[in-house]
A and B are shown apart, each in its own frame.
Chain A
Amino acid sequence: MVIQKPAIAGTLESSDCMVTVEPGEGKIDLDLDSAVIRQYGKQIRKVILETLQRLDVTDAKITVVDKGALDCTIKARVECAVYRSNGVKDQLPWGGAIV
């Protein structure tokens, strides 16, 4: 999927994360800021990158401000931001790419 316009999903509240996606410069450019980066930084990064890969996003600037979200929350927020950047509102293929 292609990131068509900047989009945001999630919040900055505890146990959530805020994900912003923007059109990239030819690659995935991830900026992660987390309250638990020392404990779970690698795992969070892995979840974000895997989710993008599953959605077939290869070119994006993605900013994640994490407030201790669980993996499932991070995954859902990333998917939601990517779908929003494509203006998709119904028949969301949760977990899969829009083709």
Chain B
Amino acid sequence: MGFVGEIYPNDLRTNAQMDALLRAEGIRRDKNLDYSCGVFDDDGSLIAAGSSFKNTLRCLAVSSEHRGEGLMNQVVSHLLEREIQQGYSHVFLYTKEKNAAIFQDLGFYEIARVENELVFLENRRDGFARYLKRLEQTRRDGRCAAVVMNANPFTLGHRYLVEQAASENDWLHLFLLSEEAGPIPFSVRKKLVREGIADLKNVILHETGPYIISSATFPSYFLRDEDAAIFAHAKLDLAVFGKIAAVLGVTARYAGEEKSSHVTALYNESMAELLPKQGIRFQEVPRLTIGGETVSASTVRQAIHDGHPERIAFMLPESTKRYFAGAEAAPVLSAIRAMEEARHY
């Protein structure tokens, strides 16, 4: 019996073995992995493998000839130890429906599933249940809608979408992506949203936590990947959203029309197809245009990146403008200028 060892990115031979193992077990190799490890037999061939990316375990496979030897237990033990070292104690994974039981035996609990495809799990018995319970305290009677946004940064376009959704419903649950994924920190994005919607009394602001559009549910939102992966992630994300909507009594989801970002366009497409199946209306709101120009956070970041923030000032509410003019925004501005790609792919 072998032991678990790291598979280094530049170890081409072992990586080729890992690719072959994943292919044989019908698992797609994720493009974005931080760390990989495997178990080798006495001849040095790879018989089990697993990887991680941030707080998620990925690409877990055991060779079909070595089932029932407890190899997955070794791989997951090793990866969990590594996750703790990296500072992640709340860990997620998704797996094919037929393999869910293996991970449920290893201390993972189901969050949501895409029927006949995959199951999304976390290593906390009450993780998602607690998140839902906290949300439930903000449940309101009447027609409720939801918007999920990154607000990177908050523009008049976001304001327009929120106003639209809030005016057509009794209450609007506004979810702000809480994952740190760009040069504008979450605390700033949140502050700008809060200031930007302060006068709208029927809007309730939430954080998405690790459950909506996070690198656990939707890794391809943050890092480039194939369309098939984006669709699969979107499907899972919407299965989780369905549970959240049920707790809040949300019957409609609003989103801005998307023309420039590929991944967001595919996400909207998925919402249009899948949300009605869960009894949730999907409403795509045309983009706000000012003076013939379409307002978009991508355009705002691009202009800052190119060193022409004055060109997009008209797209920003007073609160966002005030923030960028202030001294505290200086490091954020220079981080945007240093980005390779300011637009969302």
Whole-angstrom distance between the alpha carbons of A85 and B89 in the complex? 12
Given contact pairs A33-B107, A35-B105, A65-B107, A13 touches B84 in the complex (Cβ within 8 A) = no
Per-residue interface assignment for chain A, residues 10 to 54, with 1 indicating a CB less than 8 Å from any chain B CB and 0 otherwise:
111110001010100000000101010000000000000000000
CA–CA, A33 and B108, complex, Å: 10
**Is the beta-carbon distance between A18 and B84 smaller than 8 angstroms?**
no
Inter-chain contact B106/A65, CB cutoff 8 Å: yes
Q: Is the interface of B mostly helix, strand, loop or mixed?
A: loop
Closest-CB distance, B4 to chain A (whole angstroms): 10
* Most A C-beta atoms less than 10 A away, residue of B80, B107, B125: B107
Q: What 1/0 flags go to B110-142 for Cβ under 8 Å of A?
A: 000000000000011110000000000000000
Contact of A12 among B73, B87, B124, B126 (CB under 8 A): B73
B74 CB within 8 Å of chain A: yes
> Contact at B73–A63, with CB atoms within 8 Å?
no
Q: Which of B76, B81, B105, B123 contacts A63 (CB 8 A)?
A: B123
Q: Which residues of B contact A67 (CB under 8 A)?
A: 73
Residues in A with CB closer than 8 Å to B292 are: none
Cβ-defined partner of B89 (8 Å) among A10, A22, A31: A22
* CB of B71, distance to nearest CB on chain A (Å): 10
Query: Counting CB contacts under 8 A, is B70 at the interface?
Result: yes
Tell yes or no: B164 within 8 A of A by CB: no
Main secondary structure of the interface of A (DSSP, over half): strand
Chain A residue at minimal CB-CB distance from B125: A31
- Contact (A20, B106) CB under 8 Å given A7-B84, A11-B73, A63-B123: no
A82 proximity list for chain B (CB < 8 A): none
B54 CB, min distance to chain A CBs, angstroms? 15
Contact B84 A8 (CB under 8 A): yes
Instruction: State which of A13, A14, A18, A35 has its C-beta within 8 Å of the C-beta of B80.
Output: A18
Cβ contact within 8 Å between B70 and A63? no
B88 CB to nearest A CB, Å: 8
B115 to chain A, nearest CB (A): 26
Smallest distance from the beta carbon of A65 to chain B beta carbons, Å? 3
Is B278 located at the chain interface by the 8 A CB criterion?
A: no
> Is there an interface contact between A12 and B107, defined as CB atoms closer than 8 Å?
yes
Given A65-B106, A65-B107, A13:B74 Cβ within 8 A: yes
CA separation between A29 and B77, bound complex, in Å? 22
A18: chain B residues at CB < 8 Å are 77, 80, 107
Q: How far is the CA of A66 from the CA of B253 in the complex (A)?
A: 42
Contacts of B87 in A (CB 8 A): 6
A16 to chain B: closest residue by CB = B77
**Which chain B residues (62-92) contact chain A, with CB distance < 8 Å?**
70, 73-74, 76-77, 80-81, 84, 87, 89
What are 28 sample pairs from A and B whose C-beta atoms fall under 8 A apart? A6-B89, A7-B84, A8-B80, A8-B81, A8-B84, A10-B77, A11-B73, A12-B73, A12-B76, A12-B77, A12-B80, A12-B106, A12-B107, A13-B70, A14-B70, A14-B73, A18-B77, A18-B80, A18-B107, A20-B80, A20-B84, A22-B89, A31-B124, A31-B126, A33-B125, A35-B105, A63-B124, A65-B106
Q: A12-B107, A18-B107, A22-B89 are in contact. List 20 more A-B contacts (CB 8 A).
A: A6-B84, A6-B87, A6-B89, A8-B81, A8-B84, A12-B74, A12-B80, A12-B106, A13-B74, A14-B70, A14-B73, A20-B80, A20-B84, A31-B124, A31-B126, A33-B107, A63-B123, A65-B106, A65-B107, A67-B73
A positions within 8 Å CB-CB of B: 6-8, 10-14, 18, 20, 22, 31, 33, 35, 63, 65, 67
